[in-house]
């Protein structure tokens, strides 16, 4: 059987407070009936993603998009069709959304999205909605006080809300002690903290998740931590991205985009290859390697969640 290919545009509409997202319930008599969804629908052959989305949001909710940014593109195989979900984050709109086709619509806090049943293709979209555009990886820093000062500066001045504690030069007791301090600080700013290292570290420090090195990623057979925690991993190629998909990683970094002083010997992939790898990835992807905040919009435009960086946020 040749499967139908369906291209769908959908919107994660964000409230003015930035805390809630709008979801709608699919009528019971259609595909995936009764499940919740991000409003949107099938594109006509002549439509672009954003053009079709504008039409759909007008038809389904009575709102006009004012400002939108690409969020994530997901390819998913349903038994009867291949679907491409082209999801946009809508930050500004005109009009008061209501279910023009009689469907239920609801604003929900981002952290509660997981409580609602969505179609199977939506899991990576929920993760993308909950993740910020910037991922801070901490630099090596021998002094704990200086470390905390720099971390706090990044949260206060740069608005960082996702942090990976990378400290290869510390022994385990020192790492765990620093992790406790970093976690307390992250909690004050509602930022998420991921530990870089073995999944067992979470037994000692109740951080939000773990970031795996690419070697560790490739050595695992199944997801090493519970679903309630965030699992991310370093990836560099298609094989590692596929493995991240098999393990159920919530997101990954993909590097090196550019050459960096820390890895001068590695050949950079550049935006073209990056975009091709991201297109087939099954989860949100952060561009890493010589990235700064000024690259974030471009990273979004080629399908990434955003950028990950040490140097740009560590001052």
Ligand X SMILES: Nc1nc2c([nH]c(=O)n2[C@H]2C[C@H](O)[C@@H](COP(=O)(O)OP(=O)(O)OP(=O)(O)O)O2)c(=O)[nH]1
Interface residues toward ligand X, by CB under 6 A: 8, 10, 30-32, 37-38, 40-42, 56, 83, 85, 119, 121-122
Question: In whole angstroms, how close is the CB of 32 to ligand X at the nearest point?
Answer: 5
Question: Which residues belong to the annotated binding site?
Answer: 26, 37-40, 60, 122
Binding site for 8-oxo-dGTP: what residues are annotated? 26, 37-40, 122
Smallest gap from Cβ 135 to ligand X, in A, equals 24
For ligand X, the closer of residues 14 and 85 by Cβ is: 85
On whether the CB atoms of residues 296 and 132 are closer than 8 A, the answer is no
Binding residues for Mg(2+), as ranges, are 40, 60
Residues that bind Mg ion (CB under 5 A): 41
What is the number of the residue whose Cβ is closest to ligand X? 41
Name which of 31 and 238 has its Cβ closer to ligand X. 31
| Minimum distance from residue 284 beta carbon to ligand X (Å) | 15
Chosen from ligand X, Mg ion, none, partner binding at 121 (C-beta under 5 to 8 Å by type):
ligand X
Could you tell me if 198 and 220 are in contact, meaning their C-beta atoms sit under 8 angstroms apart? no
Smallest separation (angstroms) from ligand X to the CB of 59: 8
Q: How far is the CB of 288 from Mg ion (least distance, A)?
A: 35
Task: Name the residue nearer to ligand X (CB basis): 77 or 180.
Answer: 77
> Would you say 93 or 135 has its CB closer to ligand X?
93
User: Based on CB atoms, which residue is closest to ligand X, 75 or 216?
Assistant: 75
What's the min distance (Å) between Cβ of 146 and Mg ion?
Answer: 52
Please report the DSSP string for the chain in residue order: -PPEEEEEEEEEEEPTTSSEEEEEEPPTTSTTTT-EE-SEEEPPTT--HHHHHHHHHHHHH--EEEEEEEEEEEEEE-SSEEEEEEEEEEEEEES----TTS--EEEEEGGGGGGS---GGGHHHHHHHHS-SEEEEPPP-S-HHHHHHHHHHHHHHS---EEEE--TTS-HHHHHHHHHHHHHHHHHTT-EEEEES-GGGGGTS--SEEEE-HHHHHH-SS--S-TTSEEEEEE-SHHHHHHHHHHT-SEEEE--SS--TTSTTSPP-HHHHHHHHHHT-SS-EEEESS--GGGHHHHHHTT-SEEEESGGG--
Complex with ligand X: residue 38 or 135, whichever CB lies closer: 38
């Amino acid at each position: 059987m040749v499967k139908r290919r369906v291209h769908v545009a959908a919107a994660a509409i964000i409230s003015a407070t930035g805390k809630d997202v709008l979801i709608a319930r699919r009528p019971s008599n259609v595909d995936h009936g009764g499940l919740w969804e991000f409003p949107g629908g099938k594109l006509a052959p002549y439509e672009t993603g954003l053009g079709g989305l504008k039409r759909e949001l007008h038809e389904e909710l009575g709102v006009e998009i004012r400002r939108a940014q690409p969020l994530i593109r997901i390819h998913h195989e349903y038994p009867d069709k291949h679907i491409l979900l082209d999801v946009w984050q809508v930050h500004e709109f005109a009009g008061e959304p209501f279910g023009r086709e009689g469907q239920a619509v609801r604003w929900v806090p981002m952290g509660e999205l997981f409580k609602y049943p969505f179609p199977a293709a939506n899991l990576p979209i929920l993760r993308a909605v909950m993740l910020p555009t910037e991922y801070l990886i901490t630099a090596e820093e021998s002094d704990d006080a200086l470390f905390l000062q720099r971390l706090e500066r990044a949260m206060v001045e740069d608005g960082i809300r996702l942090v990976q504690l990378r400290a290869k030069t510390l022994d385990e007791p020192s790492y765990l002690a620093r992790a406790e301090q970093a976690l307390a600080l992250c909690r004050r700013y509602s930022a998420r903290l991921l530990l870089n290292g073995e999944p067992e570290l979470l037994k000692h420090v109740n951080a939000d998740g773990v970031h795996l090195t690419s070697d560790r990623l490739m050595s695992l057979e199944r997801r090493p931590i519970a679903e309630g925690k965030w699992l991310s991993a370093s990836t560099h190629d298609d094989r590692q991205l596929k493995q991240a998909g098999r393990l159920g990683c919530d997101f990954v970094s993909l590097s090196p985009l550019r050459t960096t002083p820390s890895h001068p010997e590695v050949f950079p992939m550049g935006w073209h290859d990056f975009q091709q790898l991201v297109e087939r990835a099954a989860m949100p992807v952060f561009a890493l390697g010589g990235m700064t905040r000024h690259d974030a919009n471009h990273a979004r435009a080629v399908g990434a969640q955003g950028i990950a960086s040490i140097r740009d946020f560590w001052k």
